[in-house]
């Protein structure tokens, strides 16, 4: 059993379509997600005893994402936040990071990068709350993951690390000085050896405890 099984990804965005798409993405990687159309709706529905992280739009009508971050601080609620920002909002996002946000993702969203950020936020939440785990099951999961990772060649491990760092195939090819076709070959091998069908499943396997 991994720690994310008892955590929730709280998504707060006034864009209905984006909010629903983000919830589907989180559920696709095995995470529990709840959505809210406004910061005030979130404050009304959130139970401070719940664990997880917050995926939060920085600009919303009424109470903004920064306002919500400040209110959570005031209430001493330590919920890791991943901010969603437009290009013009980067200075605001930097301010949010200084106030304790885990990360900020620019729109249009890179699903790869967002999943990595959310997994990191959930890990930060688990660490600060010391969530209970099932030791025997956790050891089994860890050993199984280690066995699968041991199947990877050194080059495949290099590619995997760059994927987890949020790099796209073209960037990985440039970093490793090999062709894009070779990168796609390595990615296919990684998926086969680790027993995953897509990137979200890959992130879930590698980034969760």
Task: Please write down the HEC assignment for all residues of 72-90.
Answer: HHHCCCCCCEEEEECHHHH
* Residue 138 pLDDT greater than 60, yes or no: no
Under the banding of pLDDT at 50, 70 and 90, the label for residue 1 is very low
Q: The pTM is what? A: 0.67
- Tell me whether the omega of the peptide bond preceding residue 159 falls within 30 degrees of 0, making it cis: no
Q: Which two tokens stand for residue 74?
A: 């005031």
What residues does 53 pair with on adjacent strands?
A: 9
At 139-192, the pLDDT tens digits run 555 677 788 888 989 999 999 988 877 788 899 999 999 999 999 999 999 989
- Strand locations in the chain, DSSP E? 8-12, 32-36, 52-57, 81-85, 103-106
- As a whole number of angstroms, the distance between CA 123 and CA 120 comes to 5
Burial 146-167 (b: 16+ CB within 10 A, else e): eebbeebeeebebbbebbeebb
At 42-74, the pLDDT tens digits run 999 999 889 999 999 999 999 999 999 999 999
The percentage of the chain sitting over the pLDDT mark of 90, rounded to a whole number, equals: 49
Mean pLDDT, range 23-51, rounded to an integer: 93
Q: Please name each of the domains of the chain with its CATH number.
A: 3-129 (3.40.50.2300), 135-207 (1.10.10.10)
């Amino acid at each position: 059993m991994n720690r994310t099984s008892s955590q929730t990804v709280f998504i707060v965005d006034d864009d209905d379509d984006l909010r629903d798409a983000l919830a589907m993405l989180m559920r696709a990687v095995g995470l529990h997600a709840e959505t809210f159309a406004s910061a005030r709706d979130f404050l009304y529905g959130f139970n401070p005893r719940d664990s997880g992280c917050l995926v939060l739009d920085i600009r919303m009508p009424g109470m903004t994402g920064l306002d919500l971050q400040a209110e959570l601080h005031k209430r001493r609620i330590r919920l890791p936040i991943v901010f969603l920002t437009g290009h013009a909002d980067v200075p605001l996002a930097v301010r949010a990071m200084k106030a304790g946000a885990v990360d900020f993702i620019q729109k249009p969203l890179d699903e790869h990068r967002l999943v990595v950020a959310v997994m990191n936020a959930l890990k930060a939440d688990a660490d600060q709350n010391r969530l209970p785990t099932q030791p025997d099951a956790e050891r089994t999961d860890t050993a199984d993951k280690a066995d699968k990772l041991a199947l990877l060649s050194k080059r495949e491990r290099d590619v995997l690390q760059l994927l987890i760092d949020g790099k796209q195939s073209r960037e990985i090819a440039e970093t490793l000085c090999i062709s894009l076709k070779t990168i796609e070959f390595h990615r296919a091998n990684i998926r086969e050896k680790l027993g995953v069908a897509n990137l979200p499943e890959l992130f879930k396997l590698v980034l969760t405890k």
